[in-house]
Amino acid sequence: MYARLREIVSLDGSIAVTLEAHQAIGLKGIILAGSEEQKARYLPKLASGEHIAAFCLTEPASGSDAASIQTRASLSEDKKHYILSGSKVWITNGGLANIFTVFAKTNVDSDGSVKDKITAFIVERDFGGVTNGKPEDKLGIRGSNICEVHFENTKVPVENVLGEVGGGLQVAMNILNSGRFSMGSSVAGMLKKLIEMTAEYACTRKQFNRNLSEFGLIQEKFALMAQKTYVMESMAYLTAGMLDQPGFPDCSIETAMVKVFSSEGAWQCVSEALQILGGSGYMRDYPYERMLRDARILLIFEGTNEILRMHIALTGLQHAGRILTARINELKRGNVTTVMDTVGRRLRDSLGRTVDLGLTGNLGAVHPSVVDSARKLEENVYYFGRTVETLLLRFGKTIVEEQMVLKRVANILINLYGMTAVLSRASRSMRAGLRNHDHEVLLANIFCTEAYFQNLFTLSQLDKYSPENVDEQIKKVSQQILERRAYICAHPLDRTS
């Protein structure tokens, strides 16, 4: 239901962000970690809109590194309140909110010693000592209220601790993980309207005595926008279905993949739409330039895409590592049987192994119209598994420092999840006889073909000695630039000295 709501309100980025800050992250902590008393006290008015919520985590010196926050909450002498002091920045709804989910450092007894740990609190503006700065002057989402929020000796009852004392970082991660999925439906809703407006322009605007819609490069842009919209929408609603299962299932990887794909797809598609519109798209008389400005924040907030790629890759590799640990240890010890088995598999792979994971055939899960795409997914999944085993054997625990490797692992995972989502959706549409199901099959097959070849190239880059891998050269270039903090090449008009 929330995914559908985000799709409806997405035509205005500021409204969408305001709603998301309230519902997806502002009050979500009470739903996920709140006591029954906290839910009964706060949720009714938050649900009705009488009260507005905000999520207060980011600080001037801590962005992606949430564990480094400095806001502190100290227990009062009578142990009835926490005294909260500190400042938060870039808080959406900060000037509107009545209820804040705030994260602060607290002293926690652990194994006989006192340690600083983050605790989450439900803070009412009426507690006193809560102030906010003026709204920030932003590039986009200019209609949203984003500002600094300050807490000065704010007395927070101990009953307003959200979750466990010292468990605030996990509460924050759970809130953010559960809220990211809706970006897919939100961006898809915006892109659907953008496609309509842009198509109307392309079908009526004439150049060289022909409508723009008749030119191949313009047609290519519409196919791209439709494909991206279809994929992110499929990923978002597949993930929403998972999240709707009882018991708050852990879908942190899936929600992160939806967020990364959707935010980057939004930026690419709005840019392509402006290209179709030409000069008109650049003018403030039309909504397109606002959409472009609004879209840029999507790659930054709710976790930057760089951080989320690390999360996707490392969480996936951690799971694979638990499964493959015994095999990797056998290989390292030189167990003859395991080594010969590995050599045999790689030899069969090099000769062109036929991969069958059960998606196709009479008992397969996919419709016959997408069988070729399903086989591409199966092949990608198989060789990705082999590559993951090689990476864990090569790097071990030090893989956490190999960010370029992790980025590629994440990109493959995102493509695989997108392929899975569109194959499932297109198959369902064909079997249910939904309108324009053939169009869905086209979009699914186009995406799966492109993702398949992207994955093959990325897999080749993960081989340290592959000519496609230029990681060391990239690191060297970056090091030379950052040492001098400048572009260091001579000007093309300079003469030899």
Chain mean position to CA 263 = 7
d(CA 474, CA 399): 18
- Could you give the residue numbers annotated as active site? 302
Of 121, 99, 102, nearest to 42 by C-alpha is 99
- d(C-alpha 386, C-alpha 381), whole Å: 9
Q: Residue 374: which of 356, 352, 349 has the closest Cα?
A: 356
- 27, 55 contact by CB (below 8 A): no
